[in-house]
Amino acid sequence: MSEKPWGGRFEEELDAVALRFSASVDVDKRLYAQDIRGSIAHVRMLAARGIVTREEAEAIERGLLDVKAEIEAGRFEWRDDREDVHMNVESALTEAIGPVGGKLHTARSRNDQVATDMRLWTRDAIDATVGRLDRLVGVLLIRASGTVSVLMPGYTHLQRAQPIRLAHHLLAWVEGLERDRSRLLDARERLNESPLGSAALASTTFPLDRAQTARELGFRRPMRNSIDATADRDFLLEVLSALSIAAVHLSRIAEELVLWSSQEFGFVEMSDAFTTGSSIMPQKKNPDMAELVRGKTGRVIGDLVTLLVTLKGLPLAYNRDLQEDKPPVFDAFDTVDDCLDVLTGAIATASFREEKMRAALREGFLDATEVADWLAAHGIPFREAHHVAGRLVGRAVAEGKVLSDFTLDELREEHPAFDESIFAALDMETAVERRNLPGGPARAQVEAAIREIRGELEARGVDLDALSKETGARPVVRVTKEPA
């Protein structure tokens, strides 16, 4: 009978179906680097406290590094009968260095071990995702810096509403991504506490130095309660919530790229590298990558729901259900990271069509608000001004005109306050420039926002010149001209 990781209590081998059902190594082997890192910190602390000898600790550490090298070289044999990453690593260690390898697990449980591994892995994953967010923000900044002069319609209810700058719209995407970044870093701060030393649920009788292992692993401090340390996964819920919100932001960006690349809008042409054709219609150029970003958002939200449902009925402390925390977390990070990479490339290489955006400004009465604001600025109560502008729009629709087609006499038929200066107010560039408040689309405000975001990115170590070369993003508008 083979030796079992759970000790001598059991006489029968685990049923083959039960073994397959319960084995998690195919999923959690992804934690090998964090598992070995935590084990090295643990055994160093055991030696410092005199629980194992220095020689034993050094042998164990060398053996763990050898196991890590075997894994990274692709020579390691992952075995389902050893259940998980922890027992695979420990068993391979013992095979390599002998019985002394068994001392590694002194004063430790797989419960605090896996909780530590997941916090280490999630911390690393957040750092990688934040880096990807910075790249996407950097590409958006590069594109925004070259589109300050490009005017386009802003929309509400998917109806043309008011003129804005394309750069202002791109920077709106940036703001959501910046909050996503902040949420992930906030979650990182809260999860950065060490469960190690909590053992199964009630700590241990060995005189551990939990502060030492916490410091070595980069944690702020040991967790205060051993039951909570092994039983809760709210740190993963918080991270999955942040990832879900990020995925929603990416989906909304993707949706606008899909709309803008349609012939009905024609505001952008996606590069061949991020589009596909049709198996039957040779003229098609489909924004499939943006559509997939939009579609994959459901997976990330589903990952959050999966973990919420897994945790909602669990008593304290550890339960085997917690084995199911890893698939949704791994999937959510993988999916969001892929979406970030795809959108970074797609936006970097997209061609914005300035003439299409300007043409769209001529329809939809985007200057109606300018009429109302002009009247209000000339002493007319805004509600009355709003009605006057609405009557002018209705008249223009009936007569097949735009507002700037009306003569001054025709405008005065609706209200006597109009004078020649109203026509300057109807100019789209003027309309945008009049909105010269912080957060507004006027050139000075957009350029100030670009400078501020550039400074923040540079402070984070983002090299915008290198990013531009790597992704093909350029600070200029690449206009696709309409055929004459």
- Interval 254-268: pLDDT, tens: 999 999 999 999 999
Among this protein's residues, is 168 annotated catalytic? no
User: By C-alpha distance, which of 206, 18, 2 is closest to 112?
Assistant: 206
Chain centroid offset of residue 281 CA = 35
Active-site residue (options: 149, 262, 278, 421): 278
**Could you tell me which residues come within 8 angstroms of residue 47 by beta carbon, excluding any fewer than 6 positions away?**
53, 54, 56, 57
d(CA 154, CA 440): 12
Whether 2 shows a pLDDT value over 50: the answer reads no
- Domain 19-106 matching CATH 1.10.275.10: the answer reads yes
**C-alpha gyration radius of the chain:** 30
Average pLDDT over all residues of the chain? 94
pLDDT reported for residue 484: 39
pLDDT reported for residue 436: 96
- Reported as a pLDDT band with limits 50, 70 and 90, residue 195 is very high
- Reported as a pLDDT band with limits 50, 70 and 90, residue 323 is very high
Q: Where are the alpha helices (DSSP H) in 350-440?
A: 354-361, 368-377, 382-399, 408-414, 422-425, 428-433
| Domain 111-357 architecture | Up-down Bundle (1.20)
- Reported as a pLDDT band with limits 50, 70 and 90, residue 277 is confident
Chain centroid offset of residue 299 CA = 13
Q: Which residues of the chain does CATH 1.10.40.30 include?
A: 368-425
Of 125 and 285, the structure prediction assigns the larger pLDDT to 125
User: Interior CA angle at 372 toward 366 and 378, to 5°?
Assistant: 140
Q: Which residues of the chain does CATH 1.20.200.10 include?
A: 111-357
| Domain 368-425 architecture | Orthogonal Bundle (1.10)
Q: Which residues of the chain does CATH 1.10.275.10 include?
A: 19-106
3-state secondary structure of 478: coil
User: By C-alpha distance, which of 14, 63, 19 is closest to 40?
Assistant: 63
User: By C-alpha distance, which of 98, 116, 96, 111 is closest to 40?
Assistant: 116
Of the listed ranges 98-102, 230-234, 275-279, 422-426, the one predicted with least confidence: 275-279
pLDDT reported for residue 10: 74
- Reported as a pLDDT band with limits 50, 70 and 90, residue 481 is low
- Reported as a pLDDT band with limits 50, 70 and 90, residue 298 is very high
pLDDT reported for residue 281: 81
User: By C-alpha distance, which of 170, 302, 304 is closest to 238?
Assistant: 304
Q: What predicted TM-score, i.e. pTM, was given to this entire model?
A: 0.92
pLDDT reported for residue 20: 85
46-67 mean pLDDT: 98
Beta strands at 159-165 and 151-156: parallel, antiparallel or unpaired: antiparallel
- Which DSSP state fits 63? H
Whether 476 shows a pLDDT value over 90: the answer reads no
Among this protein's residues, is 278 annotated catalytic? yes
